[in-house]
A and B are shown apart, each in its own frame.
Chain A
Amino acid sequence: MRIPVRHITLVAFVIALGLPQLARAQEWNSAGLPDSAIRAPKTNAAPAPMRDIAGIWDAGGAGIGGPGYESPPWTDWAKQKASTFKPGNGPRAVYENDINDPLSTVCDPTGFPRQVLYETRPFQIVQTPNQVLILYMFERRWRVIWTDGRPLPKDPDPRWYGYSVGHWEDDNTFVVNTIGTDERSWLDNAGNPHSGDLKVEERYHRVNHDLMELTVTLDDPKAYTRPWTPRNRMPLTLAPVNFDMMEMICSPTEVMDFRKNISDRTNNK
């Protein structure tokens, strides 16, 4: 039996109409992009829009930074500061029941810059006329980056997430400078410390429509003998516009339950 060409055309037309509907299917509670989307080459993507980094971005597993970082040598101040930090990872890792990471054991805020060095799960960037807002899936927290030309404050009160200003270095590179962070937050899971004098530079370079690279440089002469760059051009993939972020919150109730059932029973002494 021969199928008339016009029928085939009609079927193709109906399918073509239906596919965008499928693509627009709305999903809830996404944990992140599939690994295939993170790994997919993005060299053929459309050009980056100018002065626009809005959207939901996902670094995949590379964003987690679980093991912590190999830092430059510590100063004496940093050695003293970190002597009370008992991390779960890195060269000074202790047994699980001895960890005293304020984030994972009592749900202190991640703080900044740990927010961009550890558990950098999907995040949404929103641009307003005078601010860039970053909404993080991890801890469901946000940062405000002022773009109204104001200078950074002089001798500010410490804040867990510091004080941030941003500017466009070129049409595809947004640079954020942050000071005034809180010394109580760790830098990473290896228990690297930072001081309140820390200056952080984040560079968000949008390579093309689908790819952005994040570089984070730390300058903290009170704690480290030289500036260093724990995140160097970490690739971020643009997520679909209908991506609904999962919650990922440190609940003290849940942490206490985990400690009671697991951590407190791993004693190796």
Chain B
Amino acid sequence: MKVLCAFLFVVAVSVPVIAHHGTASFDTSKVVTLKGTVTDWIWANPHCFLKFDAKDDTGAVRNWAVEVSNPTDMTKRGWSRLSFKVGDQVTVSLQAVKNGAPIGRLTKVLLADGSQLGGGAEVGTAPAPAAARP
């Protein structure tokens, strides 16, 4: 019982990373990992997002935009407005949107210096049910 209480407490105080919307747009069942070059890093509300160029399976370069949470939550996770600069080489793990666009929510990113930042989006996070309200 103590363990259960402790677990529930941890769940209750964990910071949800995508606070302003759910995950209905994203395929949360799989994580895609891409190597790329940073083209922009936006440190802003309601969500920070990282843009980077990466080659797809055919060798064509696509410009991805992947969101994390807001500056407040990301600060608590050790991120900052200086986490990336244009030209940085990064390896990004993400959950992509279902429509095939190069958009996603970041689960983690490996920087050129070998350090890693966690995005917080979790694999297997169930999308919100689409059932109509009674």
* A contact residues vs B (CB 8 Å cutoff): 29, 31-32, 34-35, 38-39, 60-62, 64, 66-67, 73-74, 82, 88-97, 99, 101, 104, 119, 121, 137, 189, 246, 248-251, 254-255, 257-258, 261-262, 265-268
Contact = CB atoms under 8 A, between A and B. Distances in A.
B14 interface: yes
A193 to B, nearest CB: 12
B42 interface: yes
Contact of A92 (B12, B46, B75, B133): B133
A62 B76 CA distance: 15
B70 A94 contact: no
B103 interface: yes
A92 B10 CA distance: 27
Contacts of B16: 61, 64, 66-67
Contacts of A95: 24-25
Given A262-B65, A268-B99, A92 B132 contact: yes
Which bracket fits the contact residues of B? Answer: 35 or more
Contacts of A89: 21-22, 128
A181 B9 CA distance: 33
Q: Main SS of the interface on chain A?
A: loop
B59 interface: no
Residue of B9, B76, B131 with most partner-chain A CB within 10 A: B76
Contacts of B73: 31
Nearest to A260: B65
B25 to A, nearest CB: 4
A73 B134 CA distance: 8
Nearest to A259: B46
10 contacts: A31-B75, A32-B72, A35-B15, A66-B16, A74-B133, A95-B24, A96-B24, A255-B45, A262-B47, A268-B99
A89 B46 CA distance: 15
B98 interface: yes
A262 B44 CA distance: 13
Given A64-B16, A104-B46, A258-B44, A93 B76 contact: no
Given A32-B76, A104-B20, A189-B21, 10 more contacts: A39-B10, A39-B13, A88-B20, A137-B72, A249-B45, A258-B42, A262-B67, A265-B97, A265-B101, A267-B101
Given A95-B25, A96-B25, A265-B103, A251 B128 contact: no
Q: Which 3 A-B pairs have the closest CB atoms?
A: A88-B21, A93-B128, A31-B75
Interface string B33-77: 000000000101111010100000000000001010011110110
A61 B49 contact: no
B112 to A, nearest CB: 23
A268 B25 contact: yes
B1 interface: no
A250 B20 CA distance: 11
A107 to B, nearest CB: 9
A97 B20 contact: no
A248 B21 contact: no
Contacts of A97: 25
Contacts of A189: 19-21
B130 interface: yes
Contacts of A258: 42, 44, 46-47, 49, 67
A261 B134 CA distance: 35
Contacts of B114: none
Interface string B92-112: 000001110101000000000
Contacts of B51: 261
B117 interface: no
Contacts of B130: 93
B56 to A, nearest CB: 16
